[in-house]
A and B are shown apart, each in its own frame.
Chain A
Amino acid sequence: MAKKVLMKGNEAIAEAAISAGCLHFFGYPITPQTEISEYMAKRMPKVGGLCLQAESEVAAINMLMGAAATGSRAMTSSSSPGIALKSEGISYIAGCDLPCLIVNVQRGGPGLGGIQPSQSDYYQATRGVGHGDLRLIVLAPSSVQEMASLTAEAFDLADIYRMPAMLLADGALGQMMEPVDFEAFPKRETPEKTWATNGMGGKRARNIVNSLYIDPNVLENTVLERYERYALLEENEVKYEEYMTDDADIVLVAFGITARICKSAIGELREAGLKVGLLRPITLWPFPKKILGELADKTKAFLSVEMSMGQMVDDVRLAVNGKKPVHFFGRTGGVIPSVEEVIAETKKLAETL
């Protein structure tokens, strides 16, 4: 049987990245993700890797771009305001079709906000991370085990689809400790990086990593080609967890730490005789639209539960497409919704059905 280790979520990300062959980490300290940097600083020299503390988030993401351009598996991590700083670099990385991992251990915002857990970077991750037509693969772990397994998966997906991936966690997941099994996650075949700028080596013509296209038709075609890859992702890589949705009159929709709170609430709601289930998106982009559309045919209402003022609820509404009412409950600013609050909101909604 595989050996389980008790670890903090942030440390699990770092160890999983190293196990996945990421030997280069570029970071900058920011709460609540600093343990990733600290773990990397300790471990990397022992495995022949490198943890480099950059002068800024901006520099760290550009170091990552250079590393990714050579075809090396590399990553950076930060928290909300730091990701905002990285957004320029993320846009260039997306425009250059470079695979790499960016971790966001979210905290409250806007501005300096707070340092308590939040999910209010959902828009940033799925809509607004960098200028231009671009997407990131966005994976949302809900346990320390998933902090590890989705980190490994993010690297593989990034390589397969040749694009940046983001692990969207939050301060609670980053700080909590749970057992992790590092042998539990599968490894996928990834293509050879023939495009990498790692020296011609007398074997090939030059490679150019570039996001500039002066001719609008050429730029449009480049974006269209990229969107074909995005379409493949939407077709093949959507991940979610369904929990007690079969007979559910109300389906809660929640990701990350909030999904766990919802599961606890569902236990009690079921005991009270209410048929409530949960859909937990694991990929926030591509978003599990299809299953939500299917659930809309058999359930009576949805309740999106988030640690924000309501961001994912937009995607839920788009997926449900008016078939059933979609409600929202959330706490923001670093406040974690309680099980009791979710129960109360769900009961309130049940009374209207």
Chain B
Amino acid sequence: MKTVFDRPQALADVPLHYCPGCTHGIVHRLVAEVIDELGLQESTVGVAPVGCSVFAYNYFDCDMIQAAHGRAPAVATGVKRTHPELNVFTYQGDGDLAAIGTAETVHAATRGENITVIFINNCIYGMTGGQMAPTTLPGQVTTTSPYGRSRKIQGSPIRVCEMLATLDGVALAARVSVDCPKNVIAAKKAIKKAFQNQIDGKGFSIVEVLSTCPTNWGLSPTDALQWLRDNMMPYYPLGTYKDTEAVKDGE
């Protein structure tokens, strides 16, 4: 009998701890499918963040390192610089990548580190129970912005792809979503490109995935997907913000 659907090799056969309706599972699967399709499982080292995806080291069936909060791009740099032949990716949430790890993100990007960064943006700190993230939208209620995020008090959210697209070291900065099958297919295409870029030595590639957190948003899984479309997409437009050849030495 022909197999039409199976677990990707690069995804370990263990139960995920994610909440019902959380889109981490989809993104894990896409990353694992891409690793399989590009034949990278045996040469991949993944770096897990601190946040909801902290246990990613259990889920990807390849060598994994669990990094300190926000430091995954620096850890990945150490791996890639000592072993350029390895395929190195980080998997980070918005608090990890765009708050505590902003410096590590920006500088890995501007150095043109030849790594792949998967960035989950769900506008909230999930693991600690729904606090304000650097990407929390204006007016969005969280446990630490109980009256809604105020631009006056907490400032405005960060658009990571737009910011990183200004840096010469960035080969790919794309924002995708996993809210519907069509967008899931587009997301996989972007993730595949981000890994292919690494194989081709093009430099820093980041794919920002707009994701849901039904639990901490206080919505059902389907309402959460609609909330993503209605609120996140206008502030964080999908698209490819940078897609270019790596900057050559001396340029």
Contact = CB atoms under 8 A, between A and B. Distances in A.
A70 B54 contact: no
B79 A69 contact: yes
B43 A209 contact: no
B57 to A, nearest CB: 5
B47 interface: yes
A62 B75 contact: yes
A292 B92 CA distance: 50
Contacts of A24: 78, 81-82
Contact of B57 (A60, A64, A70, A208): A208
Contacts of A209: 64-66
Interface in A221-255: none
Contact of A52 (B42, B66, B77): B77
B65 A200 contact: no
Nearest to B67: A62
A116 interface: no
Contact of A59 (B44, B62, B103): B103
Nearest to B63: A197
Given A197-B63, A200-B62, A210-B66, A63 B78 contact: yes
Contacts of B43: 199-201
Interface in A45-99: 50, 52, 54-56, 58-60, 62-70, 72, 74, 88-89, 92, 96
A206 B63 contact: yes
A163 to B, nearest CB: 17
Contacts of A201: 42-43
A23 B58 CA distance: 31
A287 to B, nearest CB: 28
A212 interface: yes
Contact of B78 (A68, A199, A208): A68
A210 B63 contact: no
B63 A199 contact: yes
B41 interface: yes
Given A63-B74, A65-B67, A211-B66, A199 B104 contact: no
B107 interface: yes
B45 interface: yes
B68 A70 contact: no
Interface in B11-26: 12
B79 A70 contact: yes
A201 B104 CA distance: 28
A320 B71 CA distance: 43
A202 interface: yes
Contact of A206 (B62, B80, B81): B62
A70 B82 contact: yes
A63 B67 CA distance: 10
B54 A66 contact: no
B61 interface: yes
Nearest to A198: B83
B76 interface: yes
B103 A56 contact: yes
B68 A74 contact: no
Interface in B96-113: 103-104, 106-107
Contacts of B55: 212
Given A69-B65, A208-B64, A199 B103 contact: no
B82 A74 contact: yes
B77 A200 contact: no
B78 A26 contact: yes
A55 B105 CA distance: 10
A190 interface: no
A65 B57 contact: no
Interface in A166-225: 197-202, 206-212
Query: Which residue of B61, B78, B104, B106 has the most chain A CB atoms within 10 A of its CB atom?
Result: B78
B82 A88 contact: no
Nearest to B83: A70
Contacts of B57: 208, 210
Contacts of B81: 24, 50, 52, 63, 66-67
Interface string A241-285: 000000000000000000000000000000000000000000000
A55 B45 CA distance: 23
A66 B42 contact: no
B63 A208 contact: yes
B55 to A, nearest CB: 8
B78 A67 contact: yes
B66 A212 contact: yes
B45 to A, nearest CB: 5
Contacts of A64: 78
Given A199-B44, A199-B86, A207-B64, 5 more contacts: A55-B106, A62-B71, A66-B75, A198-B63, A208-B64
11 contacts: A50-B81, A56-B103, A63-B78, A65-B71, A67-B81, A70-B83, A74-B78, A197-B64, A208-B57, A208-B66, A212-B54
Q: Which 8 pairs from chain A and chain B are nearest by CB?
A: A66-B78, A62-B74, A197-B63, A55-B107, A67-B78, A66-B75, A63-B78, A62-B71
Interface of B: 12, 41-45, 47, 54-55, 57-58, 61-68, 71, 74-83, 85-86, 103-104, 106-107
Interface of A: 24, 26, 50, 52, 54-56, 58-60, 62-70, 72, 74, 88-89, 92, 96, 197-202, 206-212
